[in-house]
């Protein structure tokens, strides 16, 4: 699986959009970009994933550049409850040969009141 690079920490004001960047310059054509987050002392929570196209769900939007070498997770209206460590993970579809996710250090997003 391709390696990812994320800033260690970011601040965002409550109510504003939080934009979390991720670089994955060695991504392969069959690798998906996943985002998870971990709120203090809780299990990781799936947010969103994509392959080539931009994606949106009830939690966030994922913008993937045309060359797929980087992506941005957007939380449109951040709240205090969005304070967490956000992990960008690149992973190929294993087609049934399941293995674990590789969690790096992620970005610690702090939402300021």
Partner 1 sequence: NAGVTQTPKFRVLKTGQSMTLLCAQDMNHEYMYWYRQDPGMGLRLIHYSVGEGTTAKGEVPDGYNVSRLKKQNFLLGLESAAPSQTSVYFCASSYSKAGLGETQYFGPGTRLLVL
Q: Which residues are at the interface with partner 1 (CB under 8 A)? A: 32, 34, 41-46, 49, 51, 87, 91, 93-106
Closest distance between partner 1 and the C-beta of residue 67, in Å?
20
Identify which of residues 29 and 100 has a Cβ nearer to partner 1 in the complex.
100
User: How crowded is residue 111: how many other Cβ atoms within 10 Å of its Cβ?
Assistant: 20
Identify which of residues 14 and 55 has a Cβ nearer to partner 1 in the complex.
55
Closest distance between partner 1 and the C-beta of residue 66, in Å?
20
State CA 5 to chain mean position distance. Answer: 11
Distance CA 45, CA 53 (A): 22
Distance CA 38, CA 104 (A): 12
């Amino acid at each position: 699986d391709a390696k990812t690079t994320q800033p260690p920490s970011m601040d965002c004001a409550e109510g504003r959009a939080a934009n979390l960047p991720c670089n994955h310059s060695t991504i392969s054509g069959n690798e998906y970009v996943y985002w998870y987050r971990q709120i203090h002392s809780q299990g990781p929570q799936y947010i969103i994933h994509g392959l080539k196209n931009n994606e949106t769900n009830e939690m966030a939007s994922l913008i993937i550049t045309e060359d797929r070498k980087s992506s941005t997770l957007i939380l449109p209206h951040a709240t205090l409850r969005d304070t967490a460590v956000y992990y960008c993970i690149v992973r190929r579809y294993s087609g049934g040969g399941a293995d674990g996710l590789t969690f790096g250090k992620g970005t610690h997003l702090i939402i300021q009141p």
